[in-house]
């Protein structure tokens, strides 16, 4: 898929995600809007995956470490054919397999269970190391939040990945500058991320993480070291009144706000 | 003593926690709050605006949070380390063991939204193992208050207690159960209802469900004793042994897995001192399906009517 086509799919995913959060009355909409362009590029262009064989040994591995944005992942998985699109309406309903954080025992396409922050990257390092050991050709991608990078486990994994020479691993940091309760700058500011990752022996690319034309080449980059994409994004991207507002980390739109958001996203289509 | 539970208004115990902490902090400069990007979920907004310099937000880094708490105590501060219970206890368990309990750091650990309070967010966010994990540690009192009155009393007690402890709080609404002037006593169960046929033992969000179950049993001519057992360690052996001897049957209920929690602690006492038929209600050793906390408690047999049924079955085994 070409970037303009990907942009169209991303807008559809945004709309479906917004509707699901609104109807369920819960979700993490800000971080979903920031990461949806990256998810779209992965599932509709970059990842070698086969929805009818979700455990195919040669599939590329993808881990959404910021598991609180599960709803966006579910919509992407549904659009890509891993689960029925109608099932999105069961999000958070009693006994639904679509709970607030992805469950790999129930949802095809989910590789490992995330939700507690700081788990996805170490697991991704293991996946990439396994490919090295077996000679498998798959590539491993992992997306973390920027607040999530405050967890020490990530930095342990970053060191291990460099030591193991994992050129088959790509970490995307969704750098939307906000965490749950405040801006990173007012909590525990990790910026600038690039020199930190470089100092730990990684290749680093900085991009506009809401621009398809920059996301795709960055994800397709191959080098000789583990690769980190610092994706500068906007929390709440695409919905004007949510953008860069910390309270939209997990707020749910009112009916009026919902209609307004639908109108804005539809206009863009 | 056996009047029905009349209070129906439900309260989020986090509010009582926050109000009490602010009240104490106003009179004691050494009190600091430590959190992990959890100012909102720990209800520390008021504390932050009143005592901005005494709020230590380490970011999303629970292991660091607990270690920093231990260091603050060493430096003469009185830290209340607050975070969502699954991450505070699960993520930082070794820090809790080595830096807090073993090092005897005077740190008050406050697990917020414990049990299945996070409902639909799923098993990663359910803190239904925290009794088991923390009660295995020496030198760490484990306390789960049943209402806002006991929460406030336990926070006051914790501030005055010289040593570490773990307060396990919920966000699920509960009615007032204890008298307004209640004083918290470590390791002491509260007799909420006298009874002779069976004893119902609970804490946290389950105590009021036990009271309702006792009313249902009462209407069927069964006399049920209710013990509120906020302290899981050190457990009130005396009250448990007396309940076993005097009522001959025990039912426990908890917002926790039945493996290693309150029910297990009660069973340990009964088996050694006064074996009687017993039933443990709780999460039956599975990762819970999707659903709200209240939905899941009902689903796992902890509706008042289901608790009453479980009690009748235990009584039959006498
Ligand atoms: C170990 C752990 N601690 C705390 C939380 C609670 N939590 C959920 S989302 C979040 C903020 C995440 O911020 P960020 O990583 O920047 O994500 P985004 O901005 O993309 O939503 C927090 C603190 C958690 N899920 N896991
Ligand atoms: Mg962020």
Tokens of A195: 């020199």
How many angstroms separate the CA atoms of A33 and B37, rounded? 21
| CA–CA gap between residue A39 and residue A7 (Å, rounded) | 11
Tokens 């009964």 belong to residue: B270
Question: CB of B257 within 8 A of CB of B282?
Answer: yes
Strand partners, B280: B252
Output the CA B28–ligand 2 centroid distance in Å: 35
* CB-based contact A150 B60, cutoff 8 Å: yes
Residue in chain A nearest B127 by alpha carbon: A116
The mean predicted confidence, pLDDT, of chain B is 97
Give this prediction's pTM.
Answer: 0.96
Which pLDDT score is estimated for A63? 98
Q: Spell out the domains of chain A, with CATH numbers in brackets.
A: 3-268 (3.40.50.970)
Q: What is the mean pLDDT of residues B301-313?
A: 98
Q: Is the peptide bond before A135 cis (omega within 30 degrees of 0)?
A: no
Q: Do domains B13-168 and B190-316 have the same CATH topology?
A: yes
What ipTM describes this predicted complex? Answer: 0.94
- The C-alpha torsion from B292 through B150 and B34 to B73, rounded to 10°, is -140
Question: Confidence band (pLDDT; 50, 70, 90) for B3?
Answer: low
Query: Number of C-alpha atoms within 13 angstroms, CB side, residue A262?
Result: 12
Task: Summarize pLDDT for A26-40 with one digit per residue, the tens.
Answer: 999 999 999 999 999
Distance CA A52, CA A42 (A): 17
Mean pLDDT computed over B148-172: 98
- B190-316 fold: Rossmann fold (3.40.50)
* DSSP 8-state class, residue B316: H
User: Is pLDDT of B4 > 80?
Assistant: no
- Decide if B41 touches A, using CB distance below 8 A: yes
Q: Is B187 left (phi over 0), alpha (psi -120 to 50) or beta?
A: left
Task: Give burial (CB, 10 Å; 0-12/13-18/19+) of B103.
Answer: middle
How large is the average pLDDT for residues B26-31? 98
> What's the mean pLDDT in B72-100?
98
**B180-228 confidence digits (pLDDT tens):** 999 999 999 999 999 999 999 999 999 999 999 999 999 999 999 999 9
H helix and E strand count, chain A: 8, 5
List per-block mean pLDDT (blocks of 10 residues) for chain A, which spans 269 residues: 95 98 98 98 98 98 98 98 98 98 98 98 98 98 98 98 98 98 96 98 98 98 98 97 95 98 88
Instruction: Give the per-residue pLDDT at B8.
Output: 86
Chain B contact probe: residue of A69, A145, A181, A182 with most B CBs at under 10 A: A181
User: Residue A153: enclosing H or E segment and its boundaries?
Assistant: helix A152-163
Q: Which residue has the tokens 């999707």?
A: B290
A93/A99 Cα distance (integer angstroms) = 8
A148 to chain B, any CB pair closer than 8 A? The answer is: yes
CA-based angle A26:A27:A31, to the nearest 5?
155
Quick check: CB of B87 below 6 Å from ligand 1?
Answer: yes
Q: Is the CB of A100 inside 8 Å of chain B's CB atoms?
A: yes
Domain borders along chain B are: 13-168, 190-316
Rounded to the nearest angstrom, the minimum Cα separation between A150 and chain B is 5
Helix (H) or strand (E) run with residue B200 in it: strand B198-202
Beta strands in A65-212 (DSSP E): 140-145, 169-175, 203-208
Q: What is the pLDDT of residue B2?
A: 58
Q: Which atom of ligand 1 is nearest to the CA of A184?
A: 16
Amino acid A30: pLDDT: 98
Does residue B35 carry a pLDDT above 70? yes
Residues of B in contact with A177 (CB under 8 A): none
| Amino acid A267: pLDDT | 85
- The answer to whether the Cβ–Cβ distance between A99 and B64 falls below 8 Å is no
| Angle in degrees, CA A114, A82, A27, rounded to 5 | 45
- pLDDT band at residue B5 under the 50/70/90 scheme: low
Q: Which fold has domain B13-168?
A: Rossmann fold (3.40.50)
Residue B7 confidence class, pLDDT cut points 50, 70, 90: confident
């Amino acid at each position: 898929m070409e970037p303009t086509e990907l942009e169209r799919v991303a807008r559809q995913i945004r709309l479906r995600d917004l509707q699901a959060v609104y109807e369920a009355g819960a979700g993490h909409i800000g971080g979903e809007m920031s990461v949806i362009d990256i998810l779209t590029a992965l599932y509709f262009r970059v990842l070698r995956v086969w929805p009818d064989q979700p455990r195919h040994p040669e599939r590329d591995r993808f881990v959404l470490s910021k598991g609180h944005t599960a709803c966006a992942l579910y919509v992407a998985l549904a659009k890509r054919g891993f689960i029925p699109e109608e099932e999105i309406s069961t999000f958070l309903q009693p006994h639904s397999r679509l709970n607030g954080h992805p469950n790999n025992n129930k949802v095809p396409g989910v590789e490992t269970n995330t939700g507690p922050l700081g788990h996805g990257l170490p697991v991704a390092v293991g996946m990439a190391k396994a490919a090295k050991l077996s000679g498998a050709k798959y590539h491993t991608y992992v997306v973390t939040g920027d607040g999530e990078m405050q967890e020490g486990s990530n930095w342990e994994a970053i060191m291990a990945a460099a030591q193991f020479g994992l050129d088959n691993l790509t970490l995307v940091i969704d750098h939307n500058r906000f965490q749950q309760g405040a801006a990173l700058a007012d909590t525990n500011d990790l910026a600038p991320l690039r020199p930190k990752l470089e100092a730990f022996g990684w290749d680093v690319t900085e991009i506009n993480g809401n621009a398809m034309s920059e996301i795709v080449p960055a994800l397709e980059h191959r080098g000789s070291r583990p690769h980190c994409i610092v994706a500068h994004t906007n929390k709440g991207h695409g919905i004007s009144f949510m953008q860069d507002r910390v309270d939209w980390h997990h707020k749910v739109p009112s009916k009026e706000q919902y209609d307004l958001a639908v109108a804005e996203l539809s206009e863009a289509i | 003593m056996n009047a029905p539970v009349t209070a129906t208004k439900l309260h989020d115990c986090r509010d009582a926690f926050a109000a009490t902490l602010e009240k104490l902090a106003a009179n004691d400069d050494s009190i600091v709050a430590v959190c992990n990007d959890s100012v909102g979920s720990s209800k520390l907004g008021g504390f932050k605006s009143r005592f901005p310099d005494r709020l230590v937000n380490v970011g999303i880094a629970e292991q660091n949070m607990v270690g920093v708490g231990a260091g603050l105590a060493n430096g003469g501060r009185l830290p209340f380390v607050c975070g969502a219970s699954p991450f505070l206890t699960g993520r930082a368990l070794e820090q809790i063991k080595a830096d807090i309990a073993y090092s005897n750091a005077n740190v008050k650990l406050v697990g917020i939204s414990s049990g299945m309070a996070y409902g639909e967010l799923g098993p990663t966010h359910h803190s239904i193992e925290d009794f088991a994990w923390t009660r295995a540690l020496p030198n760490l009192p484990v306390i789960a208050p049943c209402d806002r009155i006991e929460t406030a009393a336990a926070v006051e007690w914790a501030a005055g207690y010289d040593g570490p402890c773990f307060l396990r709080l919920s966000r699920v609404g509960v009615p007032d159960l204890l008298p307004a002037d209640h004083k918290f006593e470590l390791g002491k169960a509260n007799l909420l209802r006298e009874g002779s046929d069976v004893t119902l033992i609970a804490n946290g969000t389950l105590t009021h469900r036990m009271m309702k179950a006792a009313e249902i049993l009462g209407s069927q001519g069964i006399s049920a004793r209710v013990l509120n057992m906020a302290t899981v360690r050190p457990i009130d052996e005396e009250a448990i042994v007396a309940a076993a001897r005097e009522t001959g049957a025990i039912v426990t209920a908890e917002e926790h897995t039945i493996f290693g929690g309150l029910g297990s602690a009660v069973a340990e006492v009964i088996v050694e001192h006064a074996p009687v038929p017993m039933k443990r209600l709780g999460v039956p050793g599975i990762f819970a399906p999707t659903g709200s906390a209240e939905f899941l408690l009902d689903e796992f047999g902890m509706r008042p009517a289901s608790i009453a049924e479980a009690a009748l079955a235990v009584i039959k085994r006498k």
